[in-house]
Structure 1
Amino acid sequence: MFKRSFYYLWGSQTLSNTVDVLYIVALTTYVLKVTGSVVFATLVPFLRVASQLFSGLIAPLMISRYRLPFLLTLSQFGQFLLFVLLAGYLSPMFGGDELLPVYVLIVCISFLDGWTTPARNALVPRLVSDQALLKANGLIATTDQIVQFAGWAISGLLVATFGSFPVLVAVAVGYGFAMAITVLIEDPTEPKRRSLWDVRSGLALIPAVEVDEAGELNPAGISNPPSRWDTLKEGWVALWRSPRLRSLTLMDMTDMLGGSVWAGAFMLVFVNEVLLKDEQWWGYINASYFAGAVIGGILVVALVERLEKRIFPAMLLGMLGYAVLTVWFALNDFAPLTLLIVLVTGPFTELAAVSRRTLIQRSASPDLLPKVFSAQATLLNTVFGLSLLFMSGVAEWFGIVNMYLFAAAISMLAAGVGWLNRRAFASAESRNELSDAE
């Protein structure tokens, strides 16, 4: 079911995600302490997302040339070096207090991190059997949420106790260990490595192929080496031409448009204006949500055999359940009940997200999948950024409660998109039979 390399991937990515939370909290706290400005502190996540967006655009060029485990190793090694530089710059010995070098290093770190998620998601179906794919995604989603749940609470305590510099040193060490684990990953779809320096993908030596109408590679395609433009657009073409991938991406984008309402600023306004509580309750609600997400991931793993036969209905159920609970959340003003609503929201969110990811992984060939994930990540990052601005306007003009109701309607629309395109999911259970889905 699970190859040994899956456990290496799972462990290294869990460690990377853990120290990632530490570094975001440490740098945001540092910038806020130095400047006293929320705007400058907000630049930390903004620059991170912007750099990852650009990285995702050019990721196909790297993916077509190098093995996916090598790309993960390269990303972690580069981040390790950059965090050493960042920690050294902010150390008491050097005493750097200019923000420009900090922002430049954030951009570089985030750029390297931009191809990590597409590479990881594309590696998972290569390292587990198809029957175990849903379970593997559930396990990864559960640990991701545990990291988020515990990481944000513990990181704040660590930064408050020790300061930003020691935490950044710990982050650098964490990336070093993650890199050492990632080196052990073997991709079974690639020729066995002859040495540690055998990093070129075997796919880079194969003549270029065209993407057919189903989004699959067509061996009868062109025989000339692909241009850089052809490589960059291959994942985008697959998203458009494959009925299933197009439907899943449209659902993801629609859902992301409404999902931004759970960002910290919106939640804080809701807590203050509707629940009439202080920031402490904001923390309670966040903790309750992550706890629900962890429970959701565990349930997906526990019920994997039942869900496997009904993965498409399970995805729609998750999206509809999330939408209904968002309406209840918006209309409720009793704070303790809000904790319960948010807790129950977590399992529905995880059910929809894990099901969608599994369906995407089964909807493209192994060599095309990393480029599909890169293109989709670029789209979703763009939609999320635009959604933050759009939802800010909705909250300002129509009120915070109406903003959540509007977000719930968008989530219902996302489920409707899936239902209208159900024929794309009715056939072709294996990833290589997508050409029959129209």
Structure 2
Amino acid sequence: MKSSILTRPFYFLWTTQTAANAADVLYIMALTVLVLTRTESLVSAAFMPLMRSGAQMVSGLIAPLLMNRFKLPALLLLSQTGQFLLFICLAVYLQLQGSDALLVLVFALVFAMSFLDGWTVPARNALVPRLVAHEQGLLKANSLISVSDQVVMFAGWGLSGVIVALLGPSHTLLLTAVIYGLAAAFTLGVKEPAEAQSGPQSTDVLPGGNGAAASTTKWHTLTEGWKMIWKVPRLRLLTFMDIIDMLGGSVWVGAFTLAFVQVALGKGEEWWGFINAAYFAGSVGGGLLVLAMARAIGSNFLAAMLIGMAGYGVLTAIYALNTQPFIALILVLLMGPFAELSMINRRTLIQRSVDNDMLPKVMSVQASLLNLVFCISLLVMAALAEWLGIVNLYLLAAVLTLLALGVGLIGRRAFRSTNEIGTKGD
């Protein structure tokens, strides 16, 4: 099954997740246009993505209960099929009711779909180590997923606007239903190898994750991932670094980047688009670069992650102090590869730090935790922007990344041999 580094089931997983992400972007854009047209209220339109994030966070918290009961491919199939059926109901309802559709019912269906979607990312990230072989295979798989996520996230938003304008919201929803159907169909090809279900595959896996055998109560199942992160020094350190880095990550949300372009660079909205495009190009290029460097990186995931964080933090600081638009473009273009080098290797380290049984629960906890931190960061950064100014806000983001780097350097002893870590972590 694992004669090649990236297996056929992995490509099915990659395809289904890419299709599902593209469908998400399409239907969010179509519904946003529909809600804006109906209500002429930005608050109503903004409520939908906020509601989706809340549903996914709640879903991630209870995901361990489902992961304890179902195999990950079955859980993915349940999620994708459920989203497909719910979306069919939504699309048919909007077609039949048109302008008379009740927004409360529309939002309820969106909430239910988002709740199901909350299982997919942690399940996907936990499945990847089971579907690839060797260290380089895991790094390559994470790089491919990161590149496709970036392409769908950026190009999808631009193309979806064009599609909605050409087809209209109703026909766009029908097209989205087809894509959701394809995503559900491709999920049927995601099969776990028998040897991946029985135990860990990585030499770095830490002891203590006996998974389903230890589950005696629902509360134990829900808290097992949290306890594992706290107990294992390596996981605790990586999660802490993630939280610190995420606190500053919200400065790249559209409103902040637009304010920086206008205030610090003295340019208009067209340069906002240029900056976003440059960052996207750098991120995709960075993912491809990590993919090409997999052999050179080898098992040096920690060093690669720290180099990525250092480069990203320094470039963010220079970007904050720069006032030249063309230099800003070059800087954000260079940030992408460093950001991807850090993120991809961090995810790989997490996947290699716990066994196959516990990994889904750990991933669920981290997804919920980072969603919460990001929401808090948005609110805090918005308040600080008024107090500190937009330039100082980006300097603060750079300081937070470098602080996370310092935490990683100080705690690098947690990444020593498995036996040392296991003894200290237990």
* Aligned-pair CA distance for 1:434: 4.7
* Aligned-pair CA distance for 1:346: 0.6
**Inter-CA distance 309–218: structure 2 relative to 1 (3 Å threshold):** closer
- The reply to whether residue 138 of structure 1 matches residue 135 of structure 2 is no
Q: TM-score, normalised by structure 1?
A: 0.90
Alignment of 1:390-409 (within 5 A): 390-409=380-399
- Where does residue 289 of structure 2 map in the other structure? 299
**Inter-CA distance 108–24: structure 2 relative to 1 (3 Å threshold):** same
Q: Deviations over 1:356-386 (max 9, x none)?
A: 0000000000010000000111110110000
- Where does residue 185 of structure 2 map in the other structure? 180
The answer to whether the 8 A contact 1:31-1:40 is kept is yes
**Inter-CA distance 225–240: structure 2 relative to 1 (3 Å threshold):** closer
- The reply to whether residue 114 of structure 1 matches residue 95 of structure 2 is no
In the alignment, the residues of structure 2 paired with residue 168 and residue 241 of structure 1 have an alpha-carbon distance, to the nearest angstrom, of 46
* Aligned-pair CA distance for 1:297: 0.4
**Inter-CA distance 36–334: structure 2 relative to 1 (3 Å threshold):** farther
Identity of aligned residues (%): 53
Match of 1:6 among 5, 10, 26: 10
Q: Secondary structure at the match of 1:163?
A: helix
Question: Higher mean Cα deviation, 309-318 or 388-397?
Answer: 309-318
The answer to whether the 8 A contact 2:91-2:174 is kept is yes
Q: TM-score, normalised by structure 2?
A: 0.93
In the alignment, the residues of structure 2 paired with residue 260 and residue 420 of structure 1 have an alpha-carbon distance, to the nearest angstrom, of 25
**Inter-CA distance 163–259: structure 2 relative to 1 (3 Å threshold):** same
Match of 1:271 among 257, 261, 264: 261
Match of 1:417 among 407, 421, 424: 407
**Inter-CA distance 71–433: structure 2 relative to 1 (3 Å threshold):** farther
* Aligned-pair CA distance for 1:171: 1.3
The answer to whether the 8 A contact 2:234-2:415 is kept is yes
- From the two aligned structures, give the one with the greater helix fraction: 2
The answer to whether the 8 A contact 2:210-2:357 is kept is no
Counterpart of 2:281, as a letter, is: A
Counterpart of 1:382, as a letter, is: L
Structure 1 unaligned residues grouped into runs of 5+: 192-200, 204-213
- Where does residue 333 of structure 1 map in the other structure? 323
Alignment of 1:4-403 (within 5 A): 4-91=8-95, 94-131=98-135, 132-189=137-194, 216-218=208-210, 226-403=216-393
In the alignment, the residues of structure 2 paired with residue 164 and residue 223 of structure 1 have an alpha-carbon distance, to the nearest angstrom, of 48
* Aligned-pair CA distance for 1:178: 0.9
Alignment length (residue pairs): 415
Counterpart of 1:331, as a letter, is: L
Q: Secondary structure at the match of 1:95?
A: helix
* Higher RCO (CA < 8 A, seq sep 6+): 2
- Where does residue 206 of structure 1 map in the other structure? none
Structure 2 unaligned residues grouped into runs of 5+: 200-205
* Aligned-pair CA distance for 1:92: 6.2
In the alignment, the residues of structure 1 paired with residue 54 and residue 333 of structure 2 have an alpha-carbon distance, to the nearest angstrom, of 31
**Inter-CA distance 394–223: structure 2 relative to 1 (3 Å threshold):** closer
**Inter-CA distance 4–402: structure 2 relative to 1 (3 Å threshold):** same
Question: Higher mean Cα deviation, 304-313 or 397-406?
Answer: 304-313
Counterpart of 1:41, as a letter, is: A
The answer to whether the 8 A contact 1:56-1:115 is kept is yes
Q: Deviations over 1:21-71 (max 9, x none)?
A: 112222222222222222111111100110001000100000000011111
**Inter-CA distance 92–344: structure 2 relative to 1 (3 Å threshold):** farther
Q: Deviations over 1:283-332 (max 9, x none)?
A: 22111111110000000011111112421111011111111111111112
RMSD: 2.1
In the alignment, the residues of structure 1 paired with residue 51 and residue 210 of structure 2 have an alpha-carbon distance, to the nearest angstrom, of 38
In the alignment, the residues of structure 1 paired with residue 349 and residue 95 of structure 2 have an alpha-carbon distance, to the nearest angstrom, of 46
In the alignment, the residues of structure 2 paired with residue 16 and residue 108 of structure 1 have an alpha-carbon distance, to the nearest angstrom, of 15
* Aligned-pair CA distance for 1:176: 0.7
Q: Secondary structure at the match of 2:354?
A: coil
The answer to whether the 8 A contact 1:215-1:237 is kept is no
Q: Secondary structure at the match of 1:91?
A: helix
- Where does residue 208 of structure 1 map in the other structure? none
In the alignment, the residues of structure 1 paired with residue 327 and residue 150 of structure 2 have an alpha-carbon distance, to the nearest angstrom, of 22
**Inter-CA distance 425–223: structure 2 relative to 1 (3 Å threshold):** closer
**Inter-CA distance 223–159: structure 2 relative to 1 (3 Å threshold):** closer
Counterpart of 2:189, as a letter, is: L
- Where does residue 195 of structure 1 map in the other structure? none
* Aligned-pair CA distance for 1:426: 2.4
